[in-house]
């Protein structure tokens, strides 16, 4: 069951129907790019910079595709 759920979420991330409004998409892209840019600055804690970069790219991807896997999963419940 866990494998099926994981496979479904991976499929949702890249090929799901758009489920975000235009405002949600714009905010995700803006915040994601801002976080990614902030993560590119030299910092003493490299792991924190990496985490900010990963989250920023994820948000930007969410906004660019218009699909949020977490929102889709919550709507299924």
Q: pLDDT digit string (tens) for 2-55?
A: 555 556 555 655 667 888 999 999 999 999 999 999 998 888 999 999 999 999
Look at residue 4 in the predicted model and tell me its pLDDT.
57
What are the residue ranges spanned by the domains of the chain? 19-75
Look at residue 31 in the predicted model and tell me its pLDDT.
97
Look up the pTM and report it. Answer: 0.74
Sign of the four-CA dihedral 5, 13, 38, 42: positive
Look at residue 42 in the predicted model and tell me its pLDDT.
87
Phi, psi of 22 (to 5 degrees): -60, -40
Report which of 71, 45, 41, 74 is spatially closest to residue 56, judged by C-alpha positions.
41
Look at residue 72 in the predicted model and tell me its pLDDT.
83
């Amino acid at each position: 069951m866990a494998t099926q759920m994981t496979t479904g979420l991976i499929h949702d991330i890249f090929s799901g129907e758009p489920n975000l409004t235009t405002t949600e998409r714009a905010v995700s892209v803006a915040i994601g790019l801002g976080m990614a840019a902030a993560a590119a600055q030299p910092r003493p804690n490299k792991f924190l910079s990496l985490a900010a970069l990963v989250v920023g790219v994820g948000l930007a991807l969410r906004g660019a595709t218009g699909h949020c896997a977490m929102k889709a999963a919550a709507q299924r419940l």
